[in-house]
């Protein structure tokens, strides 16, 4: 770039990479408003943490008498949010940062291949192998096979999908007679809707092992993205006034998705893990904002190094969330759940809520 003169460019002979790099070059645009930036640390901390905790509290505290549709809204809106985050908030920025049309993607070894889809593909394959290995481990440890899993709904249908319990199963067939939950805090038999508390320890442990690995991968992917968001908000320029409220909603919606997924995991009674996971997610972006403020005179989000780090992280996270959203959430809840509810109104509500979550989160991509 040293010999590039932007005031005298011959488009027939100029290196396109030099032009793109010059156009895309940016610097630290920090312009003060320290009070508002510090407030964003606490506002995002509170909002994102509360949004993450809501589905968990709704599921574990039947005395609150939260209606079924409030819980379902939180759960499936979160599913849509995770799906939109993967494509709009991660994959698209990755192309801007290290894709073929970016400064990074037109220079050095980054120019020999389109790296964002390759990294996403690698991420998806790795997550699949980890998920598959975990499944095989659980099957081996608890002495079950795939046929048994299919018959029992992956051994976690009752506690994970208690909104879809089969109705009036004859007890003479060696199964329980279950009435569908009305989600006002108790089912028709006045039993606690936190149904995993009634499971035997082996079934609960197996279900926990099957689901916790997938959840940790999901939270890991979202946290990658949250770190970059926090750093950029800490040093943003004039767009800070727009980014601030948008990121509050952005992080709250992502927290809702994480919390909804966590609420389906059969943690042991009294376990602190849900609260710890919620706190970790809630703290990630505020800590990154604080770091960004500390580096406000030196950190340049438009530098090649920052673009490479962000692009790789965003691509990895996109792969994680694409796999999680499509396989762990949409496919498992809607397509391959043998005890999915037959209530068409409830199914419609679940689908519409998922689409709404994806649509609103995609819309937020216009600003952040």
Give the CA angle between residues 88, 90, 95 to the nearest 5°.
90
- What residue has token string 């927290």? 255
Q: State the pLDDT at residue 33.
A: 82
Q: What is the pLDDT of residues 257-302, one digit of tens each?
A: 899 888 888 887 778 889 999 999 999 999 999 998 888 878 888 8
Find all residues with CB under 8 Å of 152, minimum gap 6, and list them: none
User: 13-23 burial string, b = 16+ CB within 10 Å, else e?
Assistant: eeeebbbbbee
Find all residues with CB under 8 Å of 48, minimum gap 6, and list them: 251, 252, 254, 255, 281, 282, 285
- Residue 179 to residue 366: CA distance in whole angstroms: 45
HSE-CB for 290 with a 13 A CA cutoff? 10
- Residue 108 to residue 286: CA distance in whole angstroms: 35
Q: State the pLDDT at residue 152.
A: 46
Q: State the pLDDT at residue 71.
A: 86
Mutual orientation of helices 34-60 and 201-235 as an angle, nearest 10°?
A: 170
Q: State the pLDDT at residue 352.
A: 96
User: 206-237 burial string, b = 16+ CB within 10 Å, else e?
Assistant: bbbebbbbbbebbbebbbbbbbbbbbbbbbbe
Find all residues with CB under 8 Å of 351, minimum gap 6, and list them: 76, 334
CA distances from 242 to 33, 36, 92, 183, 356 (A): 13, 12, 20, 38, 22
Of 281, 251, 256, 258, the C-alpha closest to 368 is 251
Is the pTM of the predicted complex or chain greater than 0.95?
A: no
* pLDDT of residue 72 exceeding 80: yes
Q: What is the pLDDT of residues 91-102, one digit of tens each?
A: 999 999 999 988
- Residue 294 to residue 234: CA distance in whole angstroms: 9
Mean confidence (pLDDT) of the chain: 79
Q: Which residues pair with 186 in a beta bridge?
A: 192
Q: What is the pLDDT of residues 219-232, one digit of tens each?
A: 888 888 888 888 88
Residues in the chain: 368
* pLDDT of residue 106 exceeding 90: no
* pLDDT of residue 200 exceeding 60: no
Q: Are 97 and 308 in contact (CB under 8 A)?
A: yes
Q: State the pLDDT at residue 184.
A: 35
- Residue 96 to residue 306: CA distance in whole angstroms: 12
- Residue 368 to residue 361: CA distance in whole angstroms: 10
Find all residues with CB under 8 Å of 291, minimum gap 6, and list them: 230, 231, 234
Confidence of residue 188 (pLDDT cuts 50, 70, 90): very low
Confidence of residue 174 (pLDDT cuts 50, 70, 90): very low
- Residue 145 to residue 156: CA distance in whole angstroms: 14
Q: State the pLDDT at residue 237.
A: 81
Q: State the pLDDT at residue 153.
A: 44
**DSSP one-letter code for 14:** S
Q: What is the pLDDT of residues 154-170, one digit of tens each?
A: 444 344 444 433 333 33
Residue ranges of alpha helices (H) inside the chain are 16-24, 34-60, 68-84, 92-98, 115-142, 146-152, 157-160, 201-235, 240-263, 273-294, 304-323, 344-364
- Residue 365 to residue 358: CA distance in whole angstroms: 11
Across 137-150, average pLDDT: 65
């Amino acid at each position: 770039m040293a010999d590039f003169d932007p005031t005298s460019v011959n488009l027939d002979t100029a290196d396109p990479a030099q032009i793109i790099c010059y156009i895309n070059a940016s610097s630290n645009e920090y312009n003060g408003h320290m009070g508002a930036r510090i407030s964003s640390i606490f506002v995002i901390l509170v909002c994102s943490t509360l949004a993450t905790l809501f589905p968990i509290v709704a599921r574990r505290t039947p005395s609150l008498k939260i209606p079924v549709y409030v819980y379902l809204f939180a759960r499936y809106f979160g599913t849509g949010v995770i799906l939109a985050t993967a494509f709009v908030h991660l994959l698209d920025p990755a192309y801007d940062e290290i894709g073929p049309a970016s400064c990074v993607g037109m220079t050095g070894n980054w120019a020999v291949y389109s790296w964002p889809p390759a990294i996403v593909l690698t991420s998806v394959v790795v997550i699949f192998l980890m998920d598959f290995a975990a499944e095989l481990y659980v099957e081996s440890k608890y002495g079950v096979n795939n046929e048994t899993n299919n018959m029992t709904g992956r051994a976690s249908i009752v506690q994970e999908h208690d909104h879809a319990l089969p109705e009036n199963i004859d007890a003479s067939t060696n199964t329980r007679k279950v009435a569908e939950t009305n989600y006002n805090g108790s089912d028709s038999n006045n039993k606690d809707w936190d149904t995993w508390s009634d499971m035997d320890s082996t079934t609960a442990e197996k279900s926990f092992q099957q689901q916790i690995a997938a959840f940790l991968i999901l939270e890991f992917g979202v946290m990658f993205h949250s770190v970059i968001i926090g750093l950029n908000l800490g040093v943003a320029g004039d767009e800070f006034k727009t980014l601030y409220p948008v990121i509050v909603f952005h992080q709250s919606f992502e927290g809702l998705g994480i919390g909804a997924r966590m609420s389906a995991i059969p943690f042991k009674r009294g376990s602190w893990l849900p609260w710890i996971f919620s706190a970790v997610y809630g703290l990630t972006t505020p800590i990154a904002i604080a770091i960004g403020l500390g580096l406000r005179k030196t950190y340049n989000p438009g530098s090649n190094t920052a673009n490479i780090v962000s692009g790789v992280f965003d691509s990895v996270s996109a792969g994680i969330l694409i796999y999680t959203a499509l396989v762990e959430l949409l496919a498992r809840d809607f397509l391959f759940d043998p005890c999915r509810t037959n209530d068409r109104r409830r199914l419609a509500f679940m689908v519409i809520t998922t689409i709404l979550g994806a649509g609103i989160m995609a819309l937020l991509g216009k600003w952040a």
